[in-house]
Amino acid sequence: MRVPLDLSLYLVLDPDLCAVHGLVETTRAAVAGGVTAVQLRDKKADTAHLVETGRALKAALAGAGVCLIVNDDVQAAIALEADGLHIGQDDMTALAARRMIGPDMVLGLSVETPQLAAAIDPSIVDYAGAGPVFATATKPGHKEPVGFPGLAEMVAVAPVPAVAIGGLKANHARPVFAAGAAGLCVVSAICGQPDPEAAARLLADAIRKVRS
Ligand code: TZP
Ligand code: MG
């Protein structure tokens, strides 16, 4: 049975930022701290390398009830039998991705404007990654930051749950959920932190507090 998708604290792994602890140890620590979904995002890796890393991540996540989602690489997602695939607007179309991954895998799509959010077909896409909320050094050349008002606009028109991304830290949990988002998607707030478990826990505690 598929792991249920919980977007509330969604970690996107960056291999460069995770260099100190490594991807697997960062993931283990982050899950211990309360991360609810993990995305393998390695823009430099080929499919074989992604599959190798993904296998190690899958082993680290076994039994944790945390989804593993692969960024961009459909073949790697399929080979890994990952829980999901995440694509951007400049990758293949969502329909093409859905046709390749089949009906059961989760499909996430990045959106940067309300128009793109409204254009999502909920019979094809399961969740949206909405942002960037703030400017971030993690993604050079990212689109114009939208702030919380822009996030709220996207969430309001998206026909699927939307997770906020871009420069988010624990103190942003309240405005993210106030905007109607389903969670916080973070890279540098966990990857490359001296103590990734403590960093994840700080976020998870903040989320729990604002949702209770
Ligand atoms: N897409 C939009 S912003 C971003 C991605 C992948 C990077 C977010 O990284 P951080 O370190 O959480 O700001
Ligand atoms: Mg992409």
Percent of the chain surpassing pLDDT 70: 100
Who contacts 115 (Cβ-Cβ below 8 Å, separation ≥6)? none
Binding residues for Mg(2+): 72, 91
Read off the pLDDT of residues 6-31 as tens digits, 9 standing for 90 and up. 999 999 999 999 999 999 999 999 99
Fold classification of 9-205 is: TIM Barrel (3.20.20)
Asked if the ipTM is above 0.95, the reply is yes
Read off the pLDDT of residues 98-127 as tens digits, 9 standing for 90 and up. 999 999 999 999 999 999 999 999 999 999
Candidates 32, 112, 20; CA nearest to 11 is 32
139 noted as active-site residue: yes
Measured CA distances, 117 to 19, 28, 57, 131, 204 (Å) = 33, 32, 30, 10, 26
Catalytic residue among 28, 41, 98, 201: 41
Q: Is the CB of 167 under 6 A from ligand 1?
A: yes
The secondary structure element, H or E, covering residue 111 is strand 106-111
Strands 162-165 and 106-111: unpaired
8 noted as active-site residue: no
Residue in 187, 191, 203 to alter for ligand 1 test, most ligand atoms within 8 A of Cβ: 187
Place of tokens 């211990």: 32
CB 118 within 8 A of CB 154: no
| Positions of the chain with pLDDT under 50 | none
Q: What is the residue extent of each domain of the chain?
A: 9-205
Write down the pLDDT at residue 1.
62
| pTM for this entry | 0.98
2 noted as active-site residue: no
CA of 211 to the centre of ligand 2 (A): 30
